[in-house]
Amino acid sequence: MLRKETRIDLHLHSTVSDGTDSPAELLERVQAAGVGVFSLTDHDAIRGCAEIQALLGPESPHFLPGVEFSCKDELGKYHILGYGCRAEAAALRELVELGHSQRMRKLEARLEQLSARFGITFSAAELAALRALPNPGKPHLGNLLVRLGCAGTVGQALRRFLDFEALPEEQIRPETAIAGILGSGGIPVLAHPCFGSGEERILGRELADRVARLTGFGLQGLEAFYSGFSPALTEEVLALAEGSGLCVTAGSDYHGQNKTVSLGETGLSPERPWPEGLRRFLTAAGCLSDHP
């Protein structure tokens, strides 16, 4: 039985997407940090979850398989997390393949634009290494640009060279992601609901309208505790979740060395009683054996 002191981190990335820790290394770091419930939520990928599950033992922390999909529609961008999906489900496999194929096309579009707009090209070996990655994204290109001396930091590289829409006509819609997660027996959750594209902040009525729209598609939860949230943002999301009958989750969005975020840095204090929405999520996900 989990206690409120149990540390929870349900938003982590590995080298299977754009993190710097392998799944095995991530499990070691989770254990060292004293996190008792965790999820691997790689972008458009579930392979790392299988690797972690093969390493779990009787004394391991509770692991919840996860995945994250980048989505966009007429109202903007969303990151939809899926928890507890059946890895063998066709709905999940199709969604992962769709996300992966779009990610690979985005890589080629970014490479073309780096050449056309900035005159930046890479060697054949560098291109081969990029294309061999399981799910290459902007952080991989950013790291390469730093190594080549084009920028001082990954963040600088992203802002200067990579913050453009690579394939505006090719985006997974949020309703597609939610349907795929539900179709594989998973729980769809909106990641960092107050954060949009870049520095965009989504608050108040705009946030409520977005959540209501996604709830109509089957959304079941909001990531209320998040490393980038102020206490005020957390309280706004908690109130919205309670008013909408949604579950809540807690995640750091840890990427290893690709982000200045520590594993377990979710904003959920051990002294704070778990909100009812978090208890409902943990119960639905099979992390709690009962629900008093």
Identify the weakest region by mean pLDDT among 89-98, 131-140, 166-175: 166-175
Asked whether residue 202 is domain-assigned, the answer is: yes
- Going by C-alpha positions, the residue among 18, 242, 250, 35 that lies closest to residue 134 is 18
Identity at 106, one-letter amino acid code: K
Instruction: Please name the residue that has the structure tokens 């008013």.
Output: 243
pLDDT digits (tens, 9 = 90+) for 191-203: 999 998 777 899 9
Asked whether residue 147 is domain-assigned, the answer is: no
Confirm if 261 and 255 have CB atoms less than 8 A apart.
Answer: yes
pLDDT digits (tens, 9 = 90+) for 107-158: 998 999 899 999 999 999 999 999 988 888 888 899 899 999 999 988 888 8
Q: b/e for 46-57, b at 16 or more Cβ within 10 A?
A: bbbbebbeeeee
For residue 165, what are its two tokens? 């829409």
The DSSP secondary structure of 91-126, one letter per residue, reads: HHHHHHHHHHHHHHHHHHHHHHHHHHHH-----HHH
Q: What does residue 55 show for φ and ψ, rounded to 5 degrees?
A: -100, -10
Q: Which domain holds residue 211?
A: 7-96+170-284
* CA torsion, ordered 130, 131, 135, 140, to nearest 10 deg: 10
Asked whether residue 157 is domain-assigned, the answer is: no
| Over residues 198-219, mean pLDDT | 94
Confirm if 138 and 259 have CB atoms less than 8 A apart.
Answer: no
CATH code for the domain in which residue 29 is found: 3.20.20.140
- Going by C-alpha positions, the residue among 29, 16, 93, 85 that lies closest to residue 61 is 29
pTM to 2 decimals? 0.90
pLDDT, position 168: 57
The total number of structural domains that make up the chain: 1
Confirm if 46 and 85 have CB atoms less than 8 A apart.
Answer: yes
- Look at residue 175 and tell me whether its pLDDT is greater than 90: yes
Asked whether residue 191 is domain-assigned, the answer is: yes
Q: What does residue 155 show for φ and ψ, rounded to 5 degrees?
A: -60, -40
- Look at residue 291 and tell me whether its pLDDT is greater than 60: no
Output DSSP code: residue 107. H
pLDDT, position 6: 86
| Over residues 100-111, mean pLDDT | 89
pLDDT, position 41: 98
Asked whether residue 49 is domain-assigned, the answer is: yes
Asked whether residue 249 is domain-assigned, the answer is: yes
Asked whether residue 2 is domain-assigned, the answer is: no
Confirm if 240 and 223 have CB atoms less than 8 A apart.
Answer: no
Q: How far apart are the first and last CA of the chain?
A: 12
Asked whether residue 114 is domain-assigned, the answer is: no
